[in-house]
Amino acid sequence: MPSINKSPQAFVDLDELAAHIQRDNLDAARRFLIAAEWTFNLLAAMPAMGKEYIHPKHKNLRVWYVRRPFRNYKIFYQIVEDGILVVRVLHSSRDVLTELT
C-alpha cells in the first residue's frame, strides 16, 4: 500500500482549515478532514492524476482538489518513491504563490 506523508505545514493547514470550518459547523469540519484523508488515499493510489503545478521552490509539485463538497480546497503534493508527500492544503481563495514560498 502506498504511503501518505504530510509536511509539518500540511498538518498545520489541516488543523487551521478544520478550526475555521468548525466555527460554523462542527460536523462539516469532521467531514472536511474525512474528505481530505479520502483524497490523500486516492492520490497515493494514483499519484499522477493531479495536475503539474510549476513552482520555483517546489520541484515536481502537483495539485488536486479535496473531494466534494470541499472542492474549494487544493492539495499540493509531490510523488515520492513509496507514495505521496502532501506539502500544503489551501483554500482556493488564498494567494497560492505567496503561501507556497
Taking residue 43's Cβ as centre, other Cβ atoms within 10 Å add up to 22
For β-strands 73-80 and 51-52, DSSP reports them as unpaired
Q: What is the mean pLDDT of the chain?
A: 92
The CATH number assigned to the domain holding 52 equals 3.30.2310.20
To the question of pTM greater than 0.75 for the whole model, the response is yes
50 vs 21: CA distance, rounded Å: 25
Q: For 10-63, write each residue's pLDDT tens digit.
A: 999 999 999 999 999 999 999 999 999 999 999 999 999 999 988 777 778 999
- Tracing cell 513509496 back to the chain, one arrives at 82
Domain with 38 in it? 3-99
Terminal-residue alpha carbon distance, the chain: 31
Q: What number of helices (H) and strands (E) belong to the chain?
A: 3, 5
Q: Looking at per-residue confidence, does 101 or 2 come out higher? A: 2
Number of domains in the chain: 1
